[in-house]
């Protein structure tokens, strides 16, 4: 595991100077070096013709299209992975521009980069409620913070740390896309990446700031017609079964290697 400090990329739309200014203040207070990465504005995408999009698979699993902003978000993250690949960046922190840092954020990063416990992705996600449901502490990091594993895969790609290996693996899974970036990150039984969390999370989403993706992503309306709609209970059922079994297998199968680091 590299001991060099990771580069920090903050995803931000080109014209959103207000968020950029706020993040500068927060990042400076967090005592870290950083650089802004221009986000892909997907709001104008036509999801029926957008490249890199597996529309049939998406609609079979979810009953509706990804919204354009979700695709823009995913492509923004993919752009950072491509940059890591081109420039051989050993490790990077990826942040969205609506996060608030805990005072110990920099110290947590330092601890992660020097731990002997191997990892590919560290996600800074999870609410207190989620952590109470089977959070497995693996190795102490700094002060109250631990490396940990969750029995589920919480949503959110607002902050995470990943290695170059992980970036390259993610790129292989992002040639044709049908799910948001945070959902893909949680499907570790497919990517094979050792994905852990920090408990408690050293950053959180600013709930006072409107998300750039918007609330349309929460709309569960089924838009299928004809045979795809009639078969949806089967295709959706298969997706959910795969997801449930994948989460349980990842959590149970990882117990021996997690235990030896406690």
- Three-class SS of residue 38? strand
| Stated pTM of the model | 0.94
CA atoms of 90 and 6, how far apart (whole Å): 7
CATH number of the domain to which 225 belongs: 3.90.550
* Residue 210 forms part of a structural domain: yes
The HSE-up count of residue 97 (CA atoms within 13 Å, CB side) is 27
Share of the chain above pLDDT 90, in %: 81
CA atoms of 74 and 123, how far apart (whole Å): 16
* Residue 2 forms part of a structural domain: no
- In this prediction, residue 3 has a pLDDT band, given cuts at 50, 70 and 90, of low
* Residue 41 forms part of a structural domain: yes
Which residue in 138, 97, 128, 75 sits closest to 11, CA to CA?
A: 97
Segment 211-217 shows an average pLDDT of: 69
- 60-96 pLDDT, tens digit per residue, is 999 999 999 999 999 999 999 999 999 999 999 999 9
**pLDDT in the model for residue 261:** 61
| Residue 2 pLDDT > 50 | no
* Residue 231 forms part of a structural domain: yes
Share of the chain above pLDDT 70, in %: 94
**pLDDT in the model for residue 214:** 62
Average pLDDT across the chain, whole number: 92
- 221-251 pLDDT, tens digit per residue, is 999 999 999 999 999 999 999 999 999 999 9
Segment 168-176 shows an average pLDDT of: 97
Domain around 91: 7-259
**pLDDT in the model for residue 67:** 93
Segment 149-176 shows an average pLDDT of: 95
Token output for 161 = 């740390």
Instruction: Count the domains in the chain.
Output: 1
**pLDDT in the model for residue 215:** 67
* Residue 1 forms part of a structural domain: no
* Residue 242 forms part of a structural domain: yes
């Amino acid at each position: 595991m590299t001991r060099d400090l990771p580069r920090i990329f903050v995803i931000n739309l080109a014209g959103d100077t207000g968020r950029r200014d706020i993040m500068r203040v927060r990042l400076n207070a967090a005592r870290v070096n950083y650089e802004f990465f221009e986000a892909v504005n997907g709001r104008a995408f036509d999801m029926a013709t957008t490249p890199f999009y597996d529309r049939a698979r998406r609609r079979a699993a979810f009953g509706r299209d990804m919204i354009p902003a979700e695709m823009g978000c995913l492509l923004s993250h993919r752009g950072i992975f491509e940059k890591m690949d081109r420039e051989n960046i050993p490790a990077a922190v990826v942040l969205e521009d609506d996060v608030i840092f805990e005072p110990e954020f920099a110290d947590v990063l330092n601890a992660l980069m020097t731990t002997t416990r191997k990892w590919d992705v560290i996600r800074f996600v999870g609410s207190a409620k989620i952590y109470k449901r089977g959070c497995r502490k693996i190795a102490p990091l700094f002060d109250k913070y631990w490396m940990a594993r969750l029995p589920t895969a919480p949503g959110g790609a607002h902050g995470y740390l990943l290695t170059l290996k992980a970036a390259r693996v993610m790129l292989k899974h992002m040639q044709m896309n049908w799910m948001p970036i945070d959902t893909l990150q949680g499907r570790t039984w497919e990517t094979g990446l050792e994905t852990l969390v920090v408990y408690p999370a050293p950053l959180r989403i600013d709930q006072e700031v409107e998300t750039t993706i918007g609330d349309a992503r929460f709309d569960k309306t089924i838009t299928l017609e004809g045979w795809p709609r009639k078969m949806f209970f089967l295709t959706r059922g298969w997706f959910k079964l795969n997801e449930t079994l994948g989460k349980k297998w990842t959590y149970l199968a990882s117990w021996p290697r997690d235990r030896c680091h406690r």
